Structures are given as structure tokens and as C-alpha cells.
Amino acid sequence: KTIRVGPYSVLTYNSMGIIFRSRKQIEKAIEYFQKAIQVDPGYFDAYFNLGSVYLLDLKNLDEAMKYYQLALQKDPDGLDSNYYLLQYELGLAYYIKGEDEKTLKCAERLKELYAPNLAASLEGLVSGQITAEKYQELAAGQPQRFYF
């Protein structure tokens, strides 16, 4: 299958969203991720990126959860390369909402996806071995991540 990348392709819109997000132009990033969805309503990464923006940049749990759930619907088998990151961020969102059982389900799924370190961090948050403050301190030193 040939993938065409043109000025109005899903990849172009998604990439523009990533660029705007990296420049902290969050509203523009959202606009371009939404354009990607308009071009291809089945494009997992655009939903995932919107969820990430709403969780990590805007701290809007409800919108983040909405887009994470839509992303899960687009890839129920977990075949996308960012699926494990979706499970991790979804687990963080559940943890913030106080839904420890769902957080631990995400941790179990991460183990199935061969991401034990991410699973352990979610489990550590739930068990209290890692405090939210310590988690923020550790996360602050991490480089910005990008998704395609």
C-alpha cells in the first residue's frame, strides 16, 4: 500500500500538531490533530496525541480520557507503536482520578506489552512507593517526547 504525503494528508496534519505542541502552541496543536482526524477518522496517533495534550499540557482529565478511549477503539489489539504509551498515560489519568484498580489494569497490560518499567511506575504510584511529588521530580528531567 502506498502512503501519499501531501499538504492535506493525515501524516502532515499530525506532524504539524506535534511541531506546534513542541513549541507550546497548544491550541494550534489541537487544531492540527483534529484536522488529522477529519482526514482519517481511524488514525490512532491523532487521538492519542490529543489525549496527551489534554492530560499533560492542559491537565484536563475528562478530555484526555475521551481521546484515550477513542484511540483504544481505533486500535483494540494494540498494534500501533505508541499503544504502550497510551496504556501508560491512561494509567496516569486513572491514578489522578483515584481509580487505582483501573491504573493497575493498565500496569498489567503494560507487562503484556513488554514495558515492565512503565508498569512498575504505575504500580509504585498506587502502592505509595513512589509519591506523586517524586514522580513529578523524576518526570521533569525527561526530554519532551514526540509521537507520529
Report d(CA 135, CA 92) in Å as an integer.
11
Dihedral sign (CA 106, 110, 115, 120)? positive
Q: What is the pLDDT along the chain (148 residues), one digit of tens a residue?
A: 444 556 679 999 999 999 999 999 999 999 999 999 999 999 999 999 999 999 999 999 999 999 999 999 999 888 888 999 999 999 999 999 999 999 999 999 999 998 888 899 899 999 988 877 776 665 554 444 433 2
Report d(CA 109, CA 11) in Å as an integer.
28
A 10 A CB-CB count for 4 gives: 8
Report d(CA 86, CA 91) in Å as an integer.
8
